Amino acid sequence: MKTNDHDISDESQHDSAAHDIKQSAQRELAAGVLKQAAQDLRRFRGATSKIEQEIYLDAHRWLTVNECSSPFSFLNVCQFLGLVPEQVREDLIGDASSGSFSYWIRRCGRAASRLRNSVTQLFLNDRYSDDEPGDMLFHNGPSAVGAFVHENVH
């Protein structure tokens, strides 16, 4: 039985789709591991029970150890997510050492910065487009600002 190019192409597309799904799942798992460590560092910073202290120490150890032997070690997670390990460490240790008010102030500052960047990009795109000035702001299509506000407010 002969295999034609169409069969090979279908198989190749199937393999590519399976690879994409696997990459997406690994990325979500890596992000989940990092998020859990951040929550554990914040939540159990001043823990008094032995179990909670151990959870905090496990998260802190995971964050500070420089090893790559485990697929989901801190360094591998950062590399997989395209993050700079030193910056993530600084952010997570800073978040854990400050109180919840400071944490939320920093988090709101980051959101405001992203909003400012989105608005700036919106105006830059408008300025250099072929449309009439202001058309991009008033058209009925989705905008980066609208998506940001909807995602973070509703």
The residue-averaged pLDDT of 57-80 equals 94
Give the CA dihedral 86, 89, 90, 92, nearest 10 degrees.
160
* pLDDT over 50 (residue 49): yes
The reply to whether 109 and 121 lie within a common domain is yes
Strand extents, DSSP E, 3-150: none
The reply to whether 2 and 49 lie within a common domain is yes
Higher pLDDT, 66 or 151: 66
Q: pTM for the full model?
A: 0.54
End-of-domain residue from the set 50, 73, 97: 97
In this predicted structure, what is the pLDDT of residue 50?
96
In this predicted structure, what is the pLDDT of residue 150?
43
Higher pLDDT, 150 or 87: 87
The reply to whether 59 and 72 lie within a common domain is yes
The reply to whether 74 and 142 lie within a common domain is no
The reply to whether 117 and 72 lie within a common domain is no
Q: Which domain holds residue 37?
A: 1-97
Tokens of 23: 């990459």
- Total number of domains in the chain: 2
Higher pLDDT, 68 or 134: 68
The reply to whether 75 and 142 lie within a common domain is no
Q: Give per-residue pLDDT as tens, 1-10.
A: 555 555 567 7
Closest alpha carbon to 123 in 142, 153, 150, 143: 143
Q: In Å, what is the CA distance from 61 to each residue of 13, 79, 91, 110, 138?
A: 41, 18, 15, 26, 51
Cβ atoms < 10 Å from Cβ of 118: 17
The reply to whether 13 and 85 lie within a common domain is yes
Higher pLDDT, 107 or 11: 11
Q: Give per-residue pLDDT as tens, 93-117.
A: 886 555 555 555 666 777 777 778 7
The reply to whether 43 and 79 lie within a common domain is yes
The residue-averaged pLDDT of 85-94 equals 91
Grouping H, G, I as helix, E, B as strand and the rest as coil, residue 99 is: coil
Distance CA 116, CA 111 (A): 9
The reply to whether 89 and 103 lie within a common domain is no
What's the first-to-final CA gap in the chain, in angstroms?
58
Q: Tell me the average pLDDT of the chain.
A: 77
The reply to whether 148 and 114 lie within a common domain is yes
Cβ atoms < 10 Å from Cβ of 18: 10
The reply to whether 115 and 132 lie within a common domain is yes
The reply to whether 91 and 134 lie within a common domain is no
